[in-house]
Amino acid sequence: MELERVPIDIANCAKTYADGTRGLQPTDLHVQAGEVLALLGPSGCGKTTLLRLIAGLESPDAGSRIVFGGQDVTQRPVEHRGVGMVFQSYALFPQMTVAANIGYGLRIRGVAAAEEQRAVGELVDLVRLNGLENRRPAELSGGQRQRVALARAVAVRPRVLLLDEPLAALDAKLKESLRDELADLLRRLHITAIHVTHDQQEALAIADRLAVMRAGRIVQVGRGEDLYRAPAHPFVAEFLGRVNRLEREPGAIAQGVVRLGGAEMPCPAAWQSHANLLVRPEDIEVNTPQPGWGAATVERRTFLGDRVQLHLRVAGQPLLVADVGRDTPFAPGDSVGLRIHPDRLMTSQEANA
Amino acid sequence: MRNHTSAKAPFLLAVTVIVSLFMIAPMLLSVMAGLVNNYSTGLKSGLTLRWLGEVWENYGGTVGWSLALAVACVIGTVLLGVPCAYALARSRSRGARIFEELLTLPVAVPGLATALALILAYGQLTAFRQSFAFILVGHIVFTLPFMVRTVSSAFERDDLLALEEAARSLGANFRQRFMGILVPAVFPAIVAGSLMVFTLSVGEFNLTWMLHTPLTRTLPVGLADSYASMRIEIGSAYTLVFFAVILPVLWGLQYLATLIQKRHGT
């Protein structure tokens, strides 16, 4: 199935609700043609508001601009915007069969019955719902409903596909397998898509790029790996994984180093003056005490199956959490050595935002 | 289950039996009165269908009119009430809330008062005043809130909002999504509302008694007339006719409603 793909340009787009609350601060965002972009953030961060503005289900404040591939759609209602939308609850029409749900958009456009049937057949193959065409939504599993919702949304050949928490209604185990399936489907459709989620794993697995949002603003946009490794903002670092906070006392700042349990490592040049730096638990190396490594004591060991989590007491630092291999021998009370590669340090301050 | 409760709760059982007998006795007596030759001598006077025949002769027309009126009332409340329910469910304005309160007023205000107001306002329109349409208007005023309340609470459900947005995103205009998506989705509520409206309309007396003319009588009005002016046996036989006609219709409708709700069940 070949779909049109267009870039999306959002400029100065804001939303103030009738009661005066600001759902979205003025926002700029560019989505490339055929790209899958995730809007990621905690609830109330404005991600759903932004999605609904792009869909045309909400009208933005004056001065906002939303452009689909050169066409300004800001004033167009959702009916005429050419978007396909997958709702969190899927919103399948309960009285219609799977085939009737998928064909709905074509039917109301007056497409001939034979053509509708052909298109529905193609979509049923695409989302692998063969044999379920005459079932009603109530008779389907959560994963099947999600695929019907996706097929229904793309049946009308939208220019932009919008997904509002498409996996939130599923249980954890199913979520993981459907996540990859959805990612695969979106790649095969090769359509410009915006995907709203509060689940960072889901965003990393499905999207090409993530836009991390907080309090009505986009904090940072970038490839998932880049955001995870080099967040420009501590919120991004914390939201995309877990972090430890390292402290630097004035002496260490003056010398341009980070002190860790008696050892010193150079502080990256850009953050020389920062009193705090962040580091991820998996970036702390733990071994037997040895020269040049920091000294620490194991306070607690938690076996998590695929890895072991150690709580480490280090002089002059808050309690550090380190994720190490599952065969690590260290137990509470053991003295260990620890080391952090300076490249793995992350900023704890907003970069001139 | 019966074995568990009856053994342990003789008091509850006794209360249930006594209350049931107390309530069924008048019905049985009334039915009997319509079938005996002379109520004062009771069953000894022998059974007869004479009174039933007389009722049918004098008041037979009221049965058809009552049913027709109830059907028309259902159609009217659906046509007026469903769009109204949608508008109320989607509007957040104060005006809409006030209107919703006002809508239930005819239920609280005595039917006589509503009828009097209708006569004051439209009594001069002779053709209207003397037709069944006049009674129909009264019935619609009285039953509309039941339809609107039932259907608007169905329209207010969150999943309906999402269904509507889904239809919009697929390009459906208002007419297409209202008729194709929303009405089918609230259809069970419309059926439930219709059943209630039908039942209320068939049994309505207060309003109808004020609004009727000698040529426009419904079953309950005819019933009152027969009680007032005929032998008690005829009045009782009339009650029997009411049961015989209305109960099967109500059962049939109830069965139909359950069937529809099951088919549409979500």
Structure confidence by residue, pLDDT tens digits, A35-57? 999 999 999 899 999 999 999 99
pLDDT at A270: 84
What is the pLDDT confidence band of residue B265, given thresholds at 50, 70 and 90? low
Mean pLDDT in chain B? Answer: 87
Choose the mutation target among A53, A93, A156 for the interface with B, i.e. most B CBs under 10 Å: A93
Which H or E run includes B19?
helix B10-33
Within 13 Å and on the Cβ side, how many CA atoms surround A13?
29
Per-residue pLDDT of chain A (353 residues; tens, 9 = 90+): 677 889 999 999 999 998 888 999 999 999 999 999 999 999 989 999 999 999 999 999 999 999 999 899 999 999 999 999 999 989 999 889 999 999 999 999 999 999 999 999 999 998 889 999 999 999 999 889 999 999 999 999 999 999 999 988 788 888 888 888 889 888 888 899 999 999 999 999 999 999 999 999 999 999 999 999 989 889 999 999 899 999 988 888 888 888 988 888 888 888 888 888 999 999 999 999 998 899 999 999 999 988 999 999 998 899 999 999 989 999 999 999 999 998 899 988 875 44
Closest CB from A77, A87, A95 relative to B166: A87
pLDDT at A353: 42
Cβ distance of B169 and A55 shorter than 8 Å: yes
- Neighbour count for residue A41 (Cβ, 10 Å): 29
Name the closest residue on chain A to residue B168, using Cα atoms: A79
Q: How far is CA A327 from CA A36, A305, B258, in A?
A: 38, 10, 63
Residues of A in contact with B158 (CB under 8 A): 89
CATH architecture of B51-264: Orthogonal Bundle (1.10)
Closest CB from B162, B169, B172 relative to A83: B169
Q: How far is CA A283 from CA A243, A280, A313, A324, A346, in A?
A: 10, 5, 16, 9, 11
A181-185, A285-289, B41-45, B205-209: which range is least confident on average? B41-45
Closest CB from B159, B172, B185 relative to A89: B159
Cβ distance of B168 and A78 shorter than 8 Å: yes
pLDDT at B261: 74
pLDDT digits (tens, 9 = 90+) for B172-183: 999 999 999 999
Q: Where are the domains of chain B?
A: 51-264
Question: Shortest Cα distance from A127 to chain B (angstroms)?
Answer: 18
Nearest-5° angle of CA B243, CA B246, CA B249? 135
Q: Where are the domains of chain A?
A: 8-239, 246-341
Q: What is the DSSP letter of A19?
A: T
Rounded to whole angstroms, the Cα distance separating A211 from A203 reads 10
- CB-based contact (8 Å) between A160 and chain B? no
- Neighbour count for residue B17 (Cβ, 10 Å): 10
- CB-based contact (8 Å) between A179 and chain B? no
Closest CB from B168, B169, B181 relative to A93: B181
Cβ distance of A91 and B165 shorter than 8 Å: yes
Computed on alpha carbons and rounded to an integer, the radius of gyration of chain A in Å comes to 25
Cβ distance of B165 and A87 shorter than 8 Å: yes
Cβ distance of A94 and B172 shorter than 8 Å: no
Name the closest residue on chain B to residue A153, using Cα atoms: B170
- A residues 11..70 contacting B (CB < 8 A): 55, 57
B264 pLDDT more than 70: no
pLDDT at B140: 94
Question: Shortest Cα distance from B118 to chain A (angstroms)?
Answer: 41
Q: Is B85 in a helix, a strand, or coil?
A: helix
Question: Shortest Cα distance from A105 to chain B (angstroms)?
Answer: 5
- CB-based contact (8 Å) between A94 and chain B? yes
User: A114 versus B212: which is more confidently predicted?
Assistant: A114
Question: Shortest Cα distance from A88 to chain B (angstroms)?
Answer: 9
- CB-based contact (8 Å) between A91 and chain B? yes
Nearest-5° angle of CA B121, CA B125, CA B131? 105
pLDDT at B1: 45
A284-298, B37-51, B76-90, B155-169: which range is least confident on average? B37-51
Rounded to whole angstroms, the Cα distance separating A212 from A322 reads 25
pLDDT digits (tens, 9 = 90+) for B62-77: 888 899 999 999 999 9
Question: Shortest Cα distance from B120 to chain A (angstroms)?
Answer: 44
Choose the mutation target among B159, B170, B175, B176 for the interface with A, i.e. most A CBs under 10 Å: B170
Class of domain A8-239: alpha beta
Q: Which segment, B2-11, B35-44, B54-63, B112-121, is predicted with the most confidence on average?
A: B112-121
| Contact status, residue A222 vs residue A216, Cβ threshold 8 Å | no
User: B246 versus B160: which is more confidently predicted?
Assistant: B160
B194 pLDDT more than 70: yes
User: B225 versus B79: which is more confidently predicted?
Assistant: B79
CATH code of domain A246-341 = 2.40.50.140
